[in-house]
Structure 1
Amino acid sequence: MYKFGSTLLIAAGLTLAPLAQAMAADKADIAVLIPGKHNDNGFMQAAYRGYEKIKAELDVNASYVSNISATSDPVLLTDAMRKLAAEGPDMIIAHGGQCNGPAQIVSQEFPDIKFVVIQGHVQGPNLSSYVVRQEDSAWLAGALAGLTTESDVVGHISGAWPKPGLMGRAAFYDGLKHVNPDAKFLTWFTGDLDNTGINGEAAAAEIANGADVIYTMLNAGRQGVIDEIKSHDGKVRHIGNVSDWTQVDSTFVGSAVADASVAILNAARDYTTGEWQPNQIQEIGLGKGDVVKLTLAEDVSPEVKQKLDELAAKIVSGEITISTSYDGQEFNPASGEFVDQSFKETLKTKS
């Protein structure tokens, strides 16, 4: 039948392009909004991998926009989401908790479009969130830091302040204190996930104050920390996040994997199968495949590996409850002093 129809079209002097366009028009249009650089080797690149998975695995028209704001400016993100919605896709998948507010606003303006926030916590009549529980692997990363530090000083560096980032920091601290209650904690948000200079400077300050293990929740800015740690001749180790950084550089003693690309694919697939629901928060956590896990460098001792396996099992069973709030002070690398968390509000206004 198809060959016969094609022959008629060719005989009439037509091409198959209109037919292909008509078929494409019947497909769902799904757009992925990536606030930062899609090739940042971090959280934003996970979004791009999700887009690639949609293209490869689903029969839909997929597109993406990226590099909207290095500082996750809510006004810029809202404007970009509104512009994307005006193009009329069936679903917009916005990557990162920084899209919570913009999605709440724009989803009300475009009630016929389905909206999803990855790592979000928002819901609505046409809005849901899909969450990869990075706090599970972040907690284990904190335990790893507490078990491997020799100085009993552990650092943390991130760039932006969306809720998932704050929860991840808190979980890391909780895991650290669970295994090493006497450890000193140096934590700082630099205000920019991609700037190698300021993140490298933050690492240098933490190291100067004794940190010999640093956990980074960064994107392109992580390279600045890698470079700084490398200058200390193996005396400082690094813990990464999102993907497995132990396969990238030998300075990493572990990595808190939380592959958000899977959540993006799940949201798009749910739309195509009719399983997507509004007013929902879908979660993927530890013990559900390889999406959330802690990876370890080969030189981690068998004793530490066994202890971490035991702790992971207790998280899955519910015996360990992860704290996702941190009320302590932060370490300001510029001054070398500890400051209340309210201090970062001044940085937000400058960034």
Structure 2
Amino acid sequence: MPAALLPVRSTTLRLRGPFMHLTRRNLLATAASLAAVALASPGLAADPIKIGILIPGSKSDKGWMESGYDGLVAAQKANGDKIKVQVIENINYADMEQALTQLASANQLVIGVGGQTQAAVFKIAKRFPKTKFSIVGGNAGDSLPNVAGYDVKQAEIAFVAGAAAAMLSKTGAVSYVGGMEIPSIVNAGKEFGKGAKYINPDIKYFENYTGDFDNVAKSKEATLAAIAQGADVHYHILNLGLRGMEQAAKEKGTHIIGSYTNYCGTDPLYTAYSITGVGFQVRYAIDQIVAGTWAAGYKPFGLKMGPEASDIVVCSGTPEMKAKLDAIKADILAGRIKVLEG
């Protein structure tokens, strides 16, 4: 499988000198004493916590996977020698279980970046009960005592992105392209359309799914079809497939609301960005394991976890536009606007 691996350090303790003649009982007692000394000596650093990361797509996709990788880089910078990381990226779906098995065999925490890893994580986690697993993009449902699922709540911010798209559209038509047609991706698409109609009840909305987060040709085709019907602002949940949307928008002079990370000012194709905290959740999982507070179970993120977890940024938005979007976010948090799960 195509994989990028960071080596995992292994340490072997060899006994020499007087230790060679110790009885088993004395050896165990001496080992315990040495361990106690090590814990009490600030000069002796503990072994790093071994963390494995599965990034199914490309870490440079300008989307979900890149956001997850950026979170990993930030966590490495913050934790330094406290952690040792092994990464596998850009693999086929059929190879996911094998990749997770490799990571689980060598690490104390394994993070699956993407809801598409969830089924494989739950399968492998049963075989490695002493290894902890975190799923970035996990949904409520099955549970195991060694698995944490972090829900990014994409549908929440998709509603807000739809409202922003309606404000930005000059033609009164907007579009959405998703990858795999799974509940979280579909629900985000539905909420994007609802958010657009919240601002403009007469807006035209086009929704399409390519069946593949990375298929450039299909996402370009879907975007061109929407443009042909008048759409001038596009939203997405894609990985490398985003390249196809970019190609279509550039050719036809339309614009994109990006996902996951604020890159305002770097590309005129993008008029706004939604932040869905993929990297934030990767950092959260790592910070929790380092602090000793990691916990299994389902945990929703979304707007309630703050702007690093979920937000919208309009690159050249007016104060009035920001105020309206802030009010929509507040209404979602208060339950006055109800959105689908996902």
Q: Aligned equivalents of 2:209 and 2:184: distance in 1?
A: 13
Note the C-alpha offset of 1:24: 7.9
Corresponding letter in the other structure for 2:312? L
Corresponding residue for 1:4?
none
Aligned with 1:192: secondary structure? coil
Note the C-alpha offset of 1:25: 7.5
Q: Aligned equivalents of 1:129 and 1:307: distance in 2?
A: 32
Matching of residue 60 in structure 1 with residue 78 in structure 2: no
Aligned with 1:156: secondary structure? strand
Corresponding residue for 1:343?
none
Structure 1 pair 34–24 and aligned structure 2 pair: CA distance change class (3 A): farther
Note the C-alpha offset of 1:195: 3.0
Matching of residue 187 in structure 1 with residue 207 in structure 2: yes
Q: Aligned equivalents of 1:230 and 1:131: distance in 2?
A: 33
Note the C-alpha offset of 1:284: 4.2
Q: Aligned equivalents of 1:250 and 1:286: distance in 2?
A: 30
Identity of aligned residues (%): 28
Note the C-alpha offset of 1:301: 4.1
Aligned with 2:171: secondary structure? coil
- Length-normalised TM-score, structure 1: 0.78
- CA contact 1:199–1:224 (8 Å) conserved in 2: yes
The one of 115, 118, 134 aligned to 2:136 = 118
Deviations 1:120-173 (A, max 9, x none): 025311111123333222111111122333333221012223443223222212
Note the C-alpha offset of 1:318: 2.8
Structure number with bigger Rg: 2
Corresponding residue for 1:130?
150
The one of 207, 211, 216 aligned to 2:231 = 211
Figure out how many residues of one structure are paired with residues of the other and give that number: 296
Unpaired segments ≥5 residues, structure 2? 1-37, 39-43
- CA contact 2:86–2:103 (8 Å) conserved in 1: no
- CA contact 1:38–1:66 (8 Å) conserved in 2: yes
- CA contact 2:236–2:259 (8 Å) conserved in 1: yes
Corresponding residue for 1:77?
96
- Length-normalised TM-score, structure 2: 0.80
Q: Aligned equivalents of 1:162 and 1:32: distance in 2?
A: 23
Q: Aligned equivalents of 2:301 and 2:323: distance in 1?
A: 27
Corresponding residue for 2:328?
311
Which moves more between the two structures, 245-254 or 26-35? 245-254
Q: Aligned equivalents of 1:161 and 1:104: distance in 2?
A: 21
Corresponding residue for 2:41?
none
Which moves more between the two structures, 138-147 or 77-86? 77-86
Corresponding letter in the other structure for 2:329? A
Following TM superposition, the consecutive aligned residue runs of length 4 or more in structure 1 with deviations greater than 6 angstroms are: none
Note the C-alpha offset of 1:82: 1.8
Note the C-alpha offset of 1:286: 4.9
- CA contact 2:184–2:341 (8 Å) conserved in 1: no
CA RMSD of aligned residues (A): 2.2
Structure 1 pair 289–304 and aligned structure 2 pair: CA distance change class (3 A): closer
